[in-house]
Structures are given as structure tokens and as C-alpha cells.
Amino acid sequence: MNRPFNFSAGPAAIPEEVLQRAAAEMCDWHGSGMGVMEMSHRGKEFISIYEQAESDLRQLLAVPSNFRILFMQGGAIAHNAIIPMNLSRGGVVDFVVSGSWSQKSYKEAGKYASAHLAASGQDSGFTSVPEASSWQLSPDAAYVHICSNETIHGVEFHELPDLQALGSQAPLVIDFSSHVASRPVDWSRVGIAFGGAQKNIGPAGLTIVIVREDLLGHALPITPSAFDYKIVADNNSMYNTPPTWGIYMAGLTFQWLLQQREGDLVGVAAMEKRNIAKAERFYSYVDSSDFYVNKVAPAWRSRMNIPFFLRDESRNEAFLAGAKANGLLQLKGHKSVGGMRASLYNAMSMQGVEALIAYMQEFERTSA
């Protein structure tokens, strides 16, 4: 099938092999006579899908054995409340605000805990993040929250902060919704990683939470049982019905990822290499052009989400219409930032990046 290239920020493109396999198994999963959406979550068929998905994700991200993997619902936005409910003990929690998503998390946490702004990139228009040594971390914070990839502003932490080196004993919470599985995770620096699936893993409706075991069991009494991470962990994500279809689709994506190779590299390491190459190609094209511009400081540029602008913004609609006619979909920027945004998730090939650049060159040429 010759599908267009889809640059959506989310819900986003899924590898075509994954969609094909899901289509082939839609009505009858492995001879069971049932589609995955029709199965009991407690039956042996679905339990096997769930266990495979969990162990594949553990392998893919090299998740240590003292972390639990939870498959939940609510999306990252619900977890903006669920995390302070589970971790804050009603005390102080620190936030580094690097764009819209961490800003949202910071505001929401204030309902359940004493949310403290340790640093903000707002002065730069969220084109960079203050140096970690300048963060005003609280001595008694229950955790420090960052969004490790800001999907809207296109700002990414290429290295996770080492809180201990900054004098903090607090666990680090990362919202990795939009770059999960695009690169390895340094678990020695993480307490909880969470994210919605619909950017880089599968369909909307599944939220992945990877939590260090010692952080379980401290939820505020008001925490809904279905969102108490300890209850969810004790019930292997089956306290309530988990998003079975999302887990199945994510599982197919994990298998696809485990098979990806770049030279000697396999899985997420291979994806990281590919993602670096795609992002470098795109940024260097934009930087070399007088027609397009990206405003994010080079050290903070996201590999996954690249906002860019036409210097002549009156050409925006024509740009988008022409892109669509050329099989390049969903390039419109987020309404709060404007301009364009190219999301280069794992499912986007270098071929797609080259097709976008070729179109951008042609658009510039014919606009002269």
C-alpha cells in the first residue's frame, strides 16, 4: 500500500506492518475465534497478550526489575493529578516548566500538593530550559517533575537531570509521552516515567506508567482506587478492565521495535540512531534555508517534534494545502504556537523526511 506520510503530533502514525497485522488478526486472533476487543481481559488469550507486551516493553526499554510497568487509562493529563495523589503525601513537589505540557502538570499538581516552580523556560518563549545548576529545588520535595519532550514547543531533554548531583534526594518524574521508545532511558535517574501511547506506541486510550517499587503505597486517602498505583500494581493492571485493544496494539509495536536494526544496533538503540539522523537532516535543511525557521536553541531541539515557521506567514494555508496534495499530512502547528510542526516519531521513515524537504524546497522555489 502506498500511504501518505503522516506528520501528526498525536494520535500519530503507526508502523504500517503493525496496522496490517492488526487488520489480519481483527476478526480471529490466533485461531481463538475472537477478535482481541471481544475477549475477557482475564482469559488465557488476553493474559498471554498482556504478558508478552509487558515483557517486550521491559526488554525494549531495559526496565530494571525494581520497577513496575502499569498499563492504565486516563492519558497523561489524568496522570498530572494521579501522580501528586500517589507521590506527594500532600507536601512540596518541584516542577521544571519547559513548555505547555509541564506547565499543565504544574498547575494541576497544585490541587493536591504544594507545587513549587523550580525553573521555567518561559522567558525564552520556551525555546530553551534554564541550566540545571540554576534550578531552585526544594530540600524536602516529594518529587521533581519534568516533561522530557515537550511535544508542542519541540524542546527535549537529551540527557535526564541527575538530581542527586544537584543535591536533591527526590525521585524524578518524567512525562515521556512523546519520545518514549525513541531512545534509551537512564533508569538510575528516574522514579516514575509516564506517558500516553498515542504518540509513539499505539492508539489513544492506553497510558504507560513505569514506577520504582519503593514509590508505591503512599497514595492520599482521596485517591480513586483505580488510580492508586499500588492497587493497580498488586492487580497486575487488572484492578479494573485495562485498555485491552491499546495494550494489544502497543504489544505489536513493541515487537516491531525489537526487530528494528541499524548496523549492530537493535531495538530502541537502532531507533535512536535513526531518529538522530532524521532530525539532523531536517534541522540542517531548515537552518540552511532563508524561507523557513526553527526558533528552539540547538541544544534543546526535539528529535520528535519540530515546530517550524514560514518567514512569510501569509503563505501558511498554501503550504499546508500543497503538502496535503503531495501526500504529506497533518503538518499544521499547534494553535498555541502557530506555524508548522513535523513530528518525526519512530514510524516516520527517512524517506518521509526527504519527501517533506523536497516539497519544502519546491514550495520555496515556486513562491519566489
Ligand X SMILES: *Cc1c(COP(=O)(O)O)cnc(C)c1O
- Give me 156's grid cell: 527535549
Q: Number of helices (H) and strands (E) in the chain: give both, helices first.
A: 9, 16
Catalytic residue among 175, 228, 256, 300: 175
Distance of CA 14 to the CA centre of its chain: 14
**Which residue has the CB atom at the shortest distance from ligand X?**
75
Q: For the CB of residue 307, give the shortest distance to ligand X in the complex, in Å.
A: 13
Catalytic residue among 29, 56, 94, 101: 101
Beta carbon nearer to ligand X, 152 or 310: 152
Closest C-alpha to 260, from 271, 247, 250: 271
Beta carbon nearer to ligand X, 129 or 360: 129
Beta carbon nearer to ligand X, 84 or 196: 196
Beta carbon nearer to ligand X, 196 or 267: 196
Q: Give the residue ranges of DSSP H helices in the chain.
A: 16-25, 44-60, 75-87, 100-109, 229-234, 244-259, 267-288, 316-325, 350-367
Phi-psi region of 237 (alpha: psi -120 to 50; beta: other; left: phi over 0): left
Q: For the CB of residue 126, give the shortest distance to ligand X in the complex, in Å.
A: 13
175 noted as active-site residue: yes
300 noted as active-site residue: no
Site for ligand X, rule CB under 6 A: 10, 75-77, 101, 147, 151, 175, 177-178, 196, 199
199 noted as active-site residue: yes
139 preceded by cis ω (within 30°)? no
Beta carbon nearer to ligand X, 7 or 319: 7
In angstroms, the Cα distances linking 266 to 55, 56, 59, 288, 355 are 16, 13, 11, 32, 26
- Give me 233's grid cell: 500494581
Q: Which residues pair with 192 in a beta bridge?
A: 173, 211
Q: For the CB of residue 16, give the shortest distance to ligand X in the complex, in Å.
A: 22
Q: For the CB of residue 175, give the shortest distance to ligand X in the complex, in Å.
A: 5
Catalytic residue among 56, 135, 199, 332: 199
Q: For the CB of residue 29, give the shortest distance to ligand X in the complex, in Å.
A: 26
- Return the amino acid letter for 330: Q
Catalytic residues: 101, 175, 199
